[in-house]
Each structure stands twice: as structure tokens, then as C-alpha cells.
A and B are shown apart, each in its own frame.
Chain A
Amino acid sequence: MSENLVNLNVNPCKMCMPMGAATALYGIRGCMSILHGSQGCATYIRRHMATHFNEPIDIASSSLTEQGTVFGGEANLLKGISNLIKLYRPEVIGVCTTCLAETIGEDVGAIIGKFHEQNPGLDVKIIRVASPGYGGTQNEGFFAALRAVAGQVEPDREPNGKINIVTPMVSPADMRWLKAFLGGMGLDAIFLPDLSDNLDGVTEKTYQRLKTGGTSLGEISKMAGAKLTVEFSEHAKPDESPAVFLHETYGVPFVRLPLPMGVRGMDSFVEVLRRHGGTVSHDLIKERGRYLDAMVDGHKYCAKARAAVFGDPDFVTAAVRLCCENGIVPVIAATGSVCPTLKAAVREEMDACAEISFVENTRILEDCDFDAIEKYCAELGVNLLIGSSDSRRISRKLGIPLIRCAFPIHDHVGGQRVRTLGFEGSLNILDQAANAMLDRTEARFRGDLYDRFYKGDAAFGEEGIG
């Protein structure tokens, strides 16, 4: 909530659960989602995603009406499921609830059961996701969908030697990198989810209305027989975590890692993979070396940066650590999610980083809005914004450069291709940070120094020598 107006959220730094759930389901092969609620939820979410990913986004709605709200939405949802099957022929359907469906107490499981009863022999897997808009942000919705998928497929517990990779929302380009990276280390992995193709598609002669990428349910069922789950989240609660679920239900060991950003983020990831049979290539060693080289190249410019980092908790944590490794002082770490664990994850190193430059005041904000972020940006002298384009108004108003590297990016193209993971992704952020500081100096130093030191040339009088 706002700090100026404590009873209101002013300029939200979050979206709602169905947004995250629908996004995650885009990473499942042959999946089409339907939001059980009123028509607007699906349309708003489609618009929001369409302008970030620059892809056609089709999400159905059960289009609940007054009657459905009063007497129950079963008929609407049954019809909605059969209609979207006619239009899209999906292999998987995700039924995500909304505020409305949850508040009127819809029994989605029973409705799905009834649908199967009425349509015997129909080869479609229907997955239900509880995603009331008031239950959390898109981040929690994203994990709720992943957890639902993991929990509702038929498990194949046959040991397969694979590694499960569970991610929070990362860009399709980052996802492609992650897949190639695992392959490069010689490891066979299952990705939950895999947004790489479906939210960053190619131009084809014939348009495919139902996207053809993503991880198949067949692969997902094999997660139960994997040798390890790597979950890139330090903040997802145990009951939201697919890794915890796979461990508790099928005994799959797991590690929860920070997103692979920065030196430590990458090193801990590589170390885990190495221990599980991954080979470290010469190229990877060189890439790491090149990244370290770039850190040194940029360190003095980065040291001038006072950053506000905001977004989903795992992104914020990883980006704050990247900042700290490079001497960028993160004076604000903020998330719109309710996330009591954020403070413990970043407090210590934020303080250590701040101490080098005698920065005394830093803030860690959870459950916050952009009104609060703006207030502290002004108070704490922030000169770099790292996060979504929703901060573009603050950027303009306070004249602070913005590194667009989190969802949503509405004012630039290329949201789907933003890179933040791996050495290359980290370098993308790092170079932008260093260059923002260089630009700032370049734009100001002549005038600043002139104003400060030039006092006229007394010997030549007012007119000077010209």
C-alpha cells in the first residue's frame, strides 16, 4: 500500500493472480486457458500480455453474468470449455479462477468432473488453478499454476536421470538461454514452464492459433522420476513450490536457488549442475572470465549508481545481489508482493554495499506501490531504476534513467527478448547501469564544472578576450 495514503494502493507495483497463472500456462504444450469469472479479467490480461510480449494472446473467459453470479457459473464454465475446445483443439486446458469465482464459491473441481462425465472419451487434460485476484500478485498466481500442473498430471516415477528446472516468470529469451545452457552442460532437463516459443513466436506461413511450443504433459509427468529439481525461487512458500511438492510426494531431491544472475547466482547454479553430472565447458569458463573483466571495466561508473530495484521477489533479490557485486548501491529493494522473506534475503548485503560509499539510508519494501517507491526515490537520491516500465512516470518526473528488464514493458518493443539471466543477461543489466552513469556524467560535467569553478576572466574585463 501507499505510504502517503495508507488506506489506498496508489499506482500499483503488482498485477493479480490470474495474470500470473495464465502466463505460466503458456509454458505448457498445447494448453489453452480459461478464466472463470467476468469477461473483463481475460481481456485486460490479454491486452497487458500482448503489448509486453508482442504476441497474439488468446485467453478464454467463462463470461459470467449476473445470473451466473447469483445461481452459480457451472453452465457458463461447461459451455466455455466446450467452446474453446471447438476453436482451439487444445491438449490441455487450464481453468483459472478469479476473484468472482472464488467469492461465489465455485467448485471448479466438480464442474470439471461433470464436463468429463458429459464428454466421455474426450482427450483433453483439464487442470484447475485457484487464482483469486485478491489472493496475491501475478507472482503467486504463476507459482499457483505451476504447482497445480505438477500436482495434477499423472506421475511417471520411473527414474530418468533428468533435472527439473522450475522458474518464476522469466522472459522467453532468458528461457531459451536456460535451455541451451543446460544442453551445453550435457544435461537433460524438464522445464516448468517453458515460455520460450509460445510467448516469443516466429513468423510462419500458416498461423497456428494454438501455440506449438512449451513443455508437454508427458514430460511434466516425468518430473516425478527426475534426479533433482532446481527451483529458481527463494521466496515461493512451501505450499506454492513445485520443488517441495515433488520432493514430498515423489521423493525428488531439490535445491532452491536464486535466479542465475551475477557471479554468485551463476556460480551456485553451475556448481549444482556440476555436482549432478554437468560438464563445465571451456566456453563457459571464458564467458565467466569475460563477465569478470566487464565488472572491472565498469566498476567505477557503477559505484556512482544509487538504484531502486522493484518487481517480483525473486527478480528483486537476484538483481539486488547483482548490484551489490558491482558496487551499485541498491537503496531501494521493493516488491508489490506480500513477502516477509525479502528483508532477510537482501538486508545484510545491501548494508555492506551501502557502507562502502557511506550511504546511510536504504529501504526494503514489501507489499508496496509506486507511490511509495517514488517517495523514497526522491528522498534517497535514486539515480537508476531497475524493473518494469510501470516506473516510466517516475523516470520522467524525477529524471532517472530506467533499465527495463521486468514484466510489464509497455512503452518499448522487445519485452519478450529482455535478457537478465546468465553471464550475458547479467552483463546486459550491468552495461546499461554503467552506461547510464556515463551518460549522466557526460551530460553534466562541463556545465557543472563551469558553474562551480569558472569565475570570469578578471584580467580581460566583462567581455573577455573574444
Chain B
Amino acid sequence: MANNILDERQCSISGVDQKGRGVACEKESVSGAVSQRACVYCGARVVLNPITDAYHIVHGPIGCASYTWDIRGSLTSGSETYRNSYSTDLRETDIVFGGAGKLTKAIDELAEKASPKLIFVYATCIVGVIGDDIEAVCRSAEERHGIRVVPVKAPGFSGTKTQGYKLACDAIMQLMLPHSGQPKQFGVNILGDYNLAGEMWIIKGYLEAIGIPVISTIAGDSSYGKLIRAPGAALNLVQCAGSSEYLAERMDGELGIPYIKVSFFGVEDTVASILRVADALGDPVLSANARDFAAKRTAEAMPFIEKYRPKLEGKRAAIFVGGGYKAISLIRQFNELGMKTVVVGTQTGKKDEYETIGALADKDTVILDDANPAELEQFMLEKHADILVGGVKERPLAYKLGIPFCDHNHERKHPLAGFEGIENFISEINLSINSPVWGYVRGCEEIG
């Protein structure tokens, strides 16, 4: 019989071996544990990818580019450039003789033929090892072509996915800093929303309905022109804290823009966020607008929720998502439906987020950081989860275990944020949990 939990993993699972220190997190993955995490490069790529008119050149062998080509559901109102994959496709000879020359030629060619405003150059694992000086290549290309060419030194081995988020935030800062002197205007930036299935547009719509202009969005449906307007905003809203709180902190310190964390998943968090944004701007009219707006939309949403509640009440949910902030919202959202969260984990949650999760969850809820398939399998079965909310890697596992599934990752094609998203979320949960297929599957070995 195989083990389910490795010794090194015990400290990252609540109720197993916490020693009063809480769930151990923000650590490198355990070798051989089959972590669900990707790498530093992935973290940087997902944050910057939605910048629609940027050319994202992946400097390395083809795999890193191939596996990240247009896999995210970030929508655009402008350029489609970001949906293409650009790679220097390094080969054996490049590894031996260096790839900087090839990269230089690639940038020059792109500058000449495509007239880009902005190029990101991602250095992947082996570029870090063979020592291509991509900073020098990018600097000289900027001078030659008069455009922004920003290096993102993201070798996969140089930390975890969180480190990649940070590198992306630094790259964005590098773009914004030269424009820090612009006059302040009344309005906000939305940080950490990637406009998956148009979610940023939904939130922007809410803010504008209340009377709050949105100056810039990072990075959902962004562009070079929109990004450099961001330093003019009065307030930053941080949706995905895992990826963008660091950027918000830097913008606070260096550009004098304060920030608040928001979340638009579920009624409770959506309403709270709308009110907090309005209150933070200090205009009583806006606050009143926000209250009216939230009350109206909540009243409109309630019949839908009430209609579905009897079908979902009492069901047990397992959550395994990327960041802690989303997990927190999801626990609340399940509570709204009368559901109980029995397992909750994240790839890259932070200490304070796990504390909040611990406070929100029941005593016997399993909380785990950087889980692997064996652990998910054990705890979903042990806790009799009725649904798993996760990403596509986890989907087949849930299905094989006979557990319904809700896709809450970056590849989905329907919004889950805001009031519109609440309906999508609830109906997806319902149609999977209450699908007729499970009735047949559970009797899978009976025939005749």
C-alpha cells in the first residue's frame, strides 16, 4: 500500500502536524511529491500575458513557449498580439555558443517588421545557466529602436511561481516609473485582474455605474498606452493579491498610490468590495451610490440563489486553487449557498491568507498548501467531497474519483466574478453535482 502523505509534506497540512505553527507555506515544492505548481517563468508569464499589444518573447527552448501559448482566457478590446507565441526556440548549438545573438536578431527583426511598442523578453531555465546577458541585449535594443524592451529574468528554478509574480510586477514598475510625474486624476486602477472571460469589464462596469472612473487595469485588457497611465490614479484595487499585492506595495511606496484588497467572488465579497472602494475614495455621494447599487444587484441576485439553494444545501466542497485570496472568497461563497468547505488548499497561498482560511473554515476542515494528487485524493475521499473547485489538472482526478468539478482557473470561458459570475458559478456547481451521470458511475461495476 502506498503512502499518501510524505514526511516533508506533513507540516503543510492542517491537523496532521502543525505544531501550533499553522500550515507551512511559501516554501519550495518537495522533490518527487508531484506538486500542482508550475514555475517562476509561469508566474511571470501569467501576470504579463494579458498586456494585449506586447510581444512576449520566450527566450529558451520551445517547451516553455509551447505550453503557455494562448492558454488563458484573458479577453482583449484591442490588439490580439498577446495571443501569439514568440520564442527564440533555442537549439543545442545555441546552448553551446550562447543565445544572445539570436535574441538580438529576433528583437531587431520584430522591431523592423511589426513596429511593436513593447516587448517582454522572458529568460527561462537554461538562459539563466548559459549566462546570456538579456539585460544588456534589451537595453541596447531599447536604444536602437526607441521602444520598451523589458527583460524578465525568470528561470524556472529560481524560486516558486510567487517569485515569477514578483518579477512581472517589477517589469510593470519599470514601464510605469518613467511616467510617474503625470497629474493625478480621480479614479482607480484595477490590479490583479486578468479579464478572464471579461471579468475585469464586469467590475469596471460596476465602478463606473457608481461614478468611479477606472484609469488603468493591470494586466487584464491592458496595453502599453493604458499601463503608463496607471501612475495618475488615486487608488489601487487589488483583486488577486497573490500576484499583485507586491505591485500595489511598490506603487504605494514609489508612486504614492494607496491600495485596498478587493474580491468579486460571491455576494458577500462583491458587495463588501464595492462598498470599500467607494468608502476609500472618501466621497459620501459615491458611498451612497455604492450602497444603492449593491442593494439593487443583491436583490436581483437573491431569487436566483434561493432557487438553487435547495439543490446545493448541505453539500461538501473541496477547493484547490492558485492563490489564498480566491480560496477565502470561495469558502464564503459556499457558505452563502449553505455548503460546507471540507478541504481547502492553494498552490501559493500566504501565511496571513491561511490564517484567514483557518478562521473561516470549520475545525475539521483540511487545509493544505501546495497539495499533490495523492493528498487531494485522500482528503476528498475521506471528507466525502461533493465537488472540487480547481484547475484543469485536477479535473480528471476528481472525475476518476466520482467527484463533480467546477473549473475556476485561467482557461475558463465564462466569468465567475461579480453578480453575473455568481449565477455562472452556482449553475455550474449545480449542473455538475446534480448531473445524472454520477448515478450510473457509482454503480460502475454492476452490469446485466
Contacts and interface: CB of A to CB of B under 8 A. Distances in A.
A62 interface: yes
Contact of A12 (B30, B42, B87, B128): B87
Interface centre among B30, B57, B83 (most CB of A within 10 A): B30
B33 A87 contact: yes
A78 B206 CA distance: 53
B139 to A, nearest CB: 19
Chain B, interface size category, equals: 35 or more
B86 A8 contact: yes
A97 to B, nearest CB: 12
Given A5-B109, A60-B32, A64-B157, A37 B67 contact: no
Interface string B90-121: 11101100000010011001100110000000
B66 interface: yes
Interface stretch (A197-205, A316-324, A345-353, A447-455): A197-205
Interface string A1-13: 1001111111110
Nearest to A89: B2
A7 B102 contact: yes
Interface in B17-33: 28-33
Interface in B24-51: 28-42
Given A4-B113, A103-B129, A104-B129, A205 B30 contact: no
Contacts of B37: 39, 43
Nearest to A34: B32
A60 B377 CA distance: 16
Given A9-B89, A12-B65, A14-B66, A57 B396 contact: yes
B302 interface: no
B129 A69 contact: yes
Contacts, number: 242
A460 interface: no
A308 to B, nearest CB: 18
Contacts of B89: 1, 8-9, 12
A103 B130 contact: yes
Interface centre among B31, B42, B156 (most CB of A within 10 A): B31
A260 B398 CA distance: 36
Chain A, interface size category, equals: 35 or more
Given A9-B89, A41-B156, A66-B159, A86 B66 contact: no
A8 B88 contact: yes
Interface in B284-306: none
Contact of B36 (A43, A98, A201, A393): A43
A132 B91 CA distance: 10
Contacts of B136: none
Interface in A113-145: 132-135, 137
Contacts of A16: 61-63, 66
A11 B125 contact: no
A40 B38 CA distance: 4
B396 A56 contact: yes
Interface centre among A61, A62, A98, A390 (most CB of B within 10 A): A61
Contacts of A65: 28, 157-159
A445 interface: no
B400 interface: yes
A390 B69 CA distance: 9
B441 interface: yes
Given A61-B29, A80-B32, A134-B126, A99 B63 contact: yes
A207 interface: yes
A205 B69 contact: no
B1 to A, nearest CB: 8
Interface in B142-186: 155-160
A317 B41 CA distance: 36
B373 interface: yes
Contacts of A43: 35-39, 42, 393
Given A207-B377, A207-B401, A45 B67 contact: yes
A77 interface: yes
Contact of A41 (B4, B57, B63, B374): B63
B403 to A, nearest CB: 10
B109 A39 contact: no
A39 B37 CA distance: 7
B445 interface: yes
Contacts of B372: 87
Contact of B35 (A5, A39, A99): A39
Interface of A: 1, 4-12, 14-16, 18-19, 34, 37-48, 50-51, 53-66, 68-69, 76-77, 79-84, 86-89, 98-100, 103-104, 132-135, 137, 201-205, 207, 209-210, 371, 390, 393
9 contacts: A1-B89, A7-B105, A41-B156, A50-B395, A58-B34, A61-B31, A63-B32, A65-B158, A87-B32
Given A10-B85, A50-B395, A87-B32, 4 more contacts: A19-B63, A43-B39, A88-B2, A133-B63
Interface of B: 1-4, 6, 8, 28-42, 57, 60-70, 83-92, 94-95, 102, 105-106, 109-110, 113-114, 124-126, 128-130, 155-160, 372-374, 377, 392-393, 395-397, 399-402, 441, 444-445
